[in-house]
């Protein structure tokens, strides 16, 4: 049940990772829980509002420029009391993550970090979860369209961090160096960061998704 006492249907979305966390929130809400969710790199807050509508309390974290829009979106949806915004510092490993959280949703932002820093950030994020809490993570794929002409395509994952091919970078509006992942790379990263992977998969567009749990 949502705070108003009515069960909201899961929105029809194309992203399977979003569907997975939404189902988890609905299941917990039906069991009279109120899951506390960290929406990391929340952007303009669309996912935060959706999750709040399904019965979660949400800590939305991103750079400060998104704060006004997230707060306005939450207010317009009637969830201002269920969504809290916290500005992120340079990277998640040194940002305030006031858990413990039941669930974490981190959609795409990890590609902005070199692999060693991504591992450090994920350790912090996983430690912010309750025991048994779940992390829903996605990364841009090495074997997706973004990998065409990628300079570090053959580099070891620990050293892979370069700009996309100019035409690809322009098409996807991605500036600066990025780290692209294979599915195996993402599973290894989660293992090294202390998570136990429940599921991983590669979408038809080559994006990598995974669900992990803190043991």
Q: Looking at the structure, tell me whether residues 200 and 131 fall in a common domain.
A: yes
pLDDT value for 164 = 97
Share of the chain above pLDDT 90, in %: 81
pLDDT of residue 88: 81
Whether residue 93 has pLDDT greater than 60: no
Q: Report if residue 98 sits inside a domain.
A: no
Instruction: Over range 112-127, report the average pLDDT.
Output: 93
Q: Are residues 131 and 210 in the same domain?
A: yes
Question: How high is the pLDDT of residue 6?
Answer: 43
pLDDT of 112 higher than 70: yes
Our count of domains for the chain comes to: 2
Domain holding 154: CATH number? 3.40.50.150
What is the structure's pLDDT at 50?
Answer: 95
What's this model's pTM, rounded to 2 decimal places?
0.91
Separation between Cα atoms, residue 137 and residue 145, nearest integer Å: 20
What is the pLDDT of the chain when averaged over all its residues?
A: 90
For the chain, the 3-state helix, strand and coil shares in percent, each to the nearest 5, are 35, 25, 40
- Inform me whether the pLDDT recorded for 3 exceeds 70: no
Tell me, what's the pLDDT at 4? 47
Residue 99 lies in a domain: no
Residue 55 · residue 34 · CB < 8 Å: yes
**19 CB burial (10 A radius; 0-12, 13-18, 19+):** middle
Q: Could you tell me if residue 97 is inside a domain?
A: no
Q: What is the pLDDT of residues 166-201, one digit of tens each?
A: 999 999 999 999 999 999 999 999 999 999 999 999
Phi-psi region of 51 (alpha: psi -120 to 50; beta: other; left: phi over 0): alpha
Q: Is the pLDDT of residue 151 over 50?
A: yes
**How far apart, in Å, are the Cα atoms of 206 and each of 111, 135, 180?**
14, 20, 11
Give domain status of residue 22, yes or no.
yes
pLDDT in tens, 6-60: 445 555 556 899 999 999 999 999 888 899 999 999 999 999 999 999 999 999 9
Range(s) of the domain holding residue 134:
108-114+123-215
How far apart CA 157 and CA 175 sit, in angstroms, is 20
β-pair type (195-202, 129-139):
unpaired
């Amino acid at each position: 049940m949502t705070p108003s006492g009515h069960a909201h249907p899961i929105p029809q979305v194309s992203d399977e990772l979003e569907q997975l966390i939404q189902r988890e929130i609905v299941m917990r809400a039906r069991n009279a829980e109120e899951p506390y969710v960290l929406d990391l790199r929340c952007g303009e807050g669309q996912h935060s509002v959706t999750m709040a509508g399904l019965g979660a309390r949400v800590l939305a974290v991103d750079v400060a420029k998104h704060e006004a829009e997230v707060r306005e979106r939450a207010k317009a949806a009637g969830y201002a009391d269920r969504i809290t915004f916290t500005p992120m510092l340079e990277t998640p490993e040194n940002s305030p993550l006031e858990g413990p959280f039941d669930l974490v949703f981190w959609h795409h932002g990890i590609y902005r970090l070199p692999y060693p820093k991504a591992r450090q950030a994920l350790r912090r994020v996983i430690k912010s979860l309750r025991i048994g809490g779940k992390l829903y993570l996605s990364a841009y794929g090495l074997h997706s369209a973004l990998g065409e002409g990628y300079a570090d395509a053959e580099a070891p994952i620990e050293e892979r961090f370069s700009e996309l091919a100019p035409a690809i970078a322009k098409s996807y509006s991605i500036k600066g160096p990025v780290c692209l992942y294979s599915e195996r790379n993402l599973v290894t990263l989660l293992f090294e960061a202390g998570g136990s992977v429940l599921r991983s998969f590669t979408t038809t567009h080559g994006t990598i998704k995974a669900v992990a749990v803190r043991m």
